[in-house]
Amino acid sequence: MRPVRTWAAFAALVMLSFVISPAASAAPVRYEAEQATIINGVVESNHAGFTGTGFVNSANAIGAAIEFSVPMTAAASRTLVFRHANGTTSNRPATLTINGTAHSSPLFPPTGAWTSWSTMSATATLAAGTNTIRISATTSNGLSNIDSLTVDDGQGGGGDPAPVEDPIPNDPVTSGLGLVLTEFATFPQSNPVPAPTDSRLVRRARINHLGEVPGIPGRKFVPDLNGKLYLVPASGGTPTTYLDVRATVGGNFFSGRGLGSGFGFVTFHPQYVTNGKFYTVHSESPNQQADWTQSSAVVHSVVTEWTASNPMATTFTGTRRQLLRLGFGTYIHAIQQIDFNPNTTDGLLYIAVGDGGRGASSTIPQQRNVPFGKLLRINPAGTNSANGRYGIPPNNPFVGVPGTLGEIYSIGYRDPHRFSWDRGGTNRMFLGHIGEHTIEGVYDVRAGDNMGWSDREGAWIYNKSDPCNVYSLPSNDSTFGYTYPVAAYDHDPPPGWNCSSDLGRAIAGGFVYRGNAIPALRGKYIFGDLVQGWVFYTNESSMVRGGPLPQVYQFKIFNSSGTQTSMPSLAGDSRVDLRFGLDAAGELYILAKANGRIWKVTSTNGSAP
């Protein structure tokens, strides 16, 4: 836990802020665009809904700009909110410059009409004195119509303008309850292609999930990022190969760069026994046309539908077709998981798309006309998508909204690594979201949600000019409509830690236990840290949207002989690469890439809240 300021020191700092710095008060300050310096544009008032006396309509030219002067008595982090309208069907990209230094490259998306006003926000550290905040067009289409710039206090209502030193001081507590693990299966050695340059990719087998084929009791499946889909006997033992995705795809298959590259995930259609359909996501070299792509793409994520000739067969024969192909500008944060909601039989496929590593320095996760940094929901049996290979469900939350992809179910993600549904109770969807440098969070996901990245990291401001820290929320935070975690833990780096290095913290999303074999686990959301191998839980009933973060507990780990151990010891490596699985009966499994093994949770030891 990081040191926390005393209340007396905090109160003194608050009083000082109010005495000497009007700019640090809780009230946001609005700067009207028509009163700013206008470079190649005019003031107009012909579209209703503006504030002040008008808005600025820039010329359709590169470099058209508006320059605001914002005074500050002391340097501090601030939230900048541009109010704009874009009545076209295309983005109006811009450069945000602060005191002559480029800060970010926001896209002002279509708002549906020139009378429909929206906001684009960013956080930045402003200097003491007068700050020049300039928004400049980067294409010949010019800017959106700009109504105003609002500068918030960035302090959550008049508190400390400094970074939050310990965002979640309530650290995970070691529980009196332990999990007893019994070895279930060991997988053969596999190797990435091309040969990796990152030692973290050198694992026994890069297994990352266990599930059970719907309608075929006992048939468990496990994907390996290096290419193979395995079947495992109902009671465990020796895996057999059902499908070699790498061999089928051929030379384009790619798993040698990036921790998530390769055969990332597989899910079976709820009616697999009758229709033979299952779905995979894998990585390829970027030598084909993508449906959407980031600039200078280095890898593609490909979602594929496979149709088995005989669903009951233990090796695959059949056909495949591509549903979706996305290009990513880095080797990280591509498509992680695809899955069906087990609580329904609607056949709608959820696709967790990362930000491609671009969100930390841009607004991509908030841009609604691209799939990056979004959770998508599609109908594989439909054809009304832009590429004609899948359908867009009519009840998706953004269908018909101008400038927004109908595929989007929720937005604002960095690395939406794993999600699952509670198969009992409220049937809620929980998603484990890997943070930048500070917060590992679990979200209760609902249609239309905005999880905030990269304006927020967890329930704190993420400042693109200071990515190593987070800041308290502004006093008007509720107006932004962000959704915050229902469980979380922070990184707690040691003093002097260099935030450009890998501290080794990354959440492994898990499951709410609703099985019958282990009553002590019922109603607990079980998750972990994939690097350290910590296995956590919190009570599902305590995971409340808008409520306080619940206590996170860490399980003790016991082997099948009842001896206390740890996941690094069981995995034979300090980097466990932990994942979770669940069978049709709701029983829990723990996987480690480090030594390619799976353990079944067979009982508990001790007791806990």
* pLDDT for the residue 539: 97
Choosing from 117, 151, 185, the residue where a domain stops is 151
Asked if residue 177 and residue 323 are part of one domain, the reply reads yes
Asked if residue 184 and residue 137 are part of one domain, the reply reads no
CA distances from 455 to 95, 336, 352, 409, 541 (A): 17, 22, 19, 19, 28
Tell whether 60 is covered by a domain.
yes
Q: What percent of the chain has pLDDT over 70?
A: 94
Average pLDDT of the segment spanning 451-459: 96
Residue found by looking up tokens 């395995």 in the block: 230
Asked if residue 110 and residue 59 are part of one domain, the reply reads yes
CATH code of the domain containing 539: 2.120.10.30
Q: What is the mean pLDDT of the chain?
A: 92
Asked if residue 405 and residue 547 are part of one domain, the reply reads yes
Domain that holds residue 132: 7-151
Number of domains observed in the structure of the chain? 2
CA neighbours closer than 13 Å in the CB half-sphere of residue 537: 25
Choosing from 100, 118, 151, the residue where a domain stops is 151
Amino acid sitting at position 55: F
Cβ pair 230, 220 in contact under 8 A: no
Tell whether 98 is covered by a domain.
yes
Tell whether 482 is covered by a domain.
no
Asked if residue 527 and residue 379 are part of one domain, the reply reads yes
- In the predicted model, is pLDDT for residue 223 greater than 50? yes
Asked if residue 573 and residue 504 are part of one domain, the reply reads yes
Output the furthest CA–CA distance in the chain (Å, rounded): 78
- Reduce the secondary structure of 512-566 to three states and give it as a string: ECCCCCCHHHCCEEEEEECCCCCEEEEEHHHCCCCCCCCCCEEEEEECCCCCEEC
Asked if residue 188 and residue 106 are part of one domain, the reply reads no
CATH code of the domain containing 102: 2.60.120.260
Tell whether 216 is covered by a domain.
yes
Measured CA to CA, the distance from residue 573 to residue 209 in angstroms comes to 19
The confidence band for 150, taking pLDDT boundaries of 50, 70 and 90, is confident
- In the predicted model, is pLDDT for residue 95 greater than 70? yes
Choosing from 89, 120, 151, the residue where a domain stops is 151
Task: Give me the torsion for CA of 504, 510, 512, 513, rounded to 10°.
Answer: -100
Tell whether 470 is covered by a domain.
no
Average pLDDT of the segment spanning 349-363: 95
Asked if residue 189 and residue 147 are part of one domain, the reply reads no
The confidence band for 409, taking pLDDT boundaries of 50, 70 and 90, is very high
Cβ pair 536, 173 in contact under 8 A: no
CA distances from 207 to 190, 248, 501, 587 (A): 10, 19, 25, 18
Indicate if the alpha-carbon torsion angle 325, 326, 332, 333 is positive or negative.
Answer: negative
Indicate if the alpha-carbon torsion angle 142, 145, 148, 150 is positive or negative.
Answer: negative
Tell whether 72 is covered by a domain.
yes
Asked if residue 146 and residue 186 are part of one domain, the reply reads no
Asked if residue 391 and residue 266 are part of one domain, the reply reads yes
Cβ pair 320, 307 in contact under 8 A: yes
* pLDDT for the residue 4: 35
pTM of the model: 0.79
Tell whether 557 is covered by a domain.
yes
Tell whether 35 is covered by a domain.
yes
Asked if residue 184 and residue 127 are part of one domain, the reply reads no
CA distances from 47 to 56, 60, 464 (A): 11, 18, 33
Q: What is the pLDDT of residues 535-567, one digit of tens each?
A: 999 999 999 999 999 999 999 999 999 999 999
Beta-carbon contacts of residue 415 (< 8 Å; ≥ 6 apart): 332, 333, 336, 354, 355, 433, 434
Asked if residue 285 and residue 230 are part of one domain, the reply reads yes
